């Protein structure tokens, strides 16, 4: 039985949310821009980051559509599950270690590395988010693996609409994170501290590790 639309859309929505949430240069700059300028500057950084992420997702989905006839093969599914596990497990482990090591000194050092000039133009923040995301080596690996794995499950249920709905849902997930950040910057700036960063990064690490373990278990079960 094919997966339901709601489940598939929720899945790719969370892929977008997880891509945006781990604490790194984009999130630090987005928060800095919001606290030094306006909450809209935080959203602008998110838009720039989302443009890159959705470009990588589109490439993954486009490439996947050219091999749809092979995606139902058990051997191909094994390869995709293996790739997903190999990509997500190390990334999740890195984020987990990062969350454990975060302290007040880490926050001070991170904020010192940011530019001290207050933001003025939203378009410059879009460009900043774009640049910081496109140079992140984790970004293409994450989206290529995630896109192929998701498309293998979504195409039987959604057909040709999987491409457009996947982009929409993943983009909504990404912007949900940056809208949450803008809310905190605007209404609860005191909550943006080490505990917040550690909680978010740790939660993302657990989710990424869970997906990676699921793919690994799926791969092993195919050979039992």
Query: Residue 88 to residues 51, 96, 98: CA-CA distances in angstroms?
Result: 22, 12, 15
Q: What is the pLDDT at residue 172?
A: 93
Mean pLDDT of 94-115: 73
Which contacts (CB < 8 Å, 24+ apart) does range 51-55 have? 51/126, 51/130, 52/130, 52/133, 52/134, 52/139, 53/16, 53/19, 53/20, 53/133, 53/139, 53/143, 53/170, 53/174, 54/167, 54/170, 54/171, 54/174
pLDDT digits (tens, 9 = 90+) for 61-87: 877 655 555 555 677 667 767 776 787
pLDDT digits (tens, 9 = 90+) for 147-193: 777 877 787 788 778 888 888 999 999 999 998 888 887 776 666 67
Q: Are 56 and 144 in contact (CB under 8 A)?
A: yes
In 135-191, which ranges are continuous DSSP H helix? 138-158, 161-187
DSSP category for residue 189: G
Task: Parse the chain into domains and list their residue ranges.
Answer: 5-221
Q: How confident is the model at residue 47 (pLDDT cuts 50, 70, 90)?
A: very high
Phi-psi region of 22 (alpha: psi -120 to 50; beta: other; left: phi over 0): beta
Q: Are 53 and 188 in contact (CB under 8 A)?
A: no
């Amino acid at each position: 039985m094919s997966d339901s639309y709601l489940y598939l859309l929720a899945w790719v929505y969370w892929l977008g949310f997880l891509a945006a949430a781990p604490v790194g240069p984009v999130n630090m700059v987005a928060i800095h821009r919001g606290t030094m300028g306006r909450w809209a500057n935080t959203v602008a950084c998110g838009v720039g980051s989302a443009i890159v992420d959705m470009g990588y997702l589109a490439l993954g989905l486009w490439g996947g559509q050219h091999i749809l006839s092979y995606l139902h093969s058990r051997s191909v599914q094994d390869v995709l599950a293996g790739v997903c596990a190999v990509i997500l497990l190390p990334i999740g482990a890195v984020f987990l270690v990062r969350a454990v090591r975060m302290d007040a000194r880490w926050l001070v050092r991170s904020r010192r590395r940011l530019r001290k000039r207050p933001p003025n133009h939203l378009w410059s923040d879009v460009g900043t988010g774009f640049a910081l995301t496109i140079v992140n080596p984790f970004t293409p690996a994450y989206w290529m693996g995630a896109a192929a794995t998701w498309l293998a499950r979504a195409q039987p249920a959604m057909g040709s609409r999987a491409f457009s709905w996947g982009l929409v849902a993943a983009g909504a997930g990404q912007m949900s994170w940056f809208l949450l950040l803008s809310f905190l910057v605007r209404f609860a700036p005191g909550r943006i501290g080490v505990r917040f960063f550690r909680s978010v990064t740790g939660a993302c690490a657990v989710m990424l590790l869970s997906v990676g373990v699921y793919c690994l278990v799926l791969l092993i079960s195919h050979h039992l």
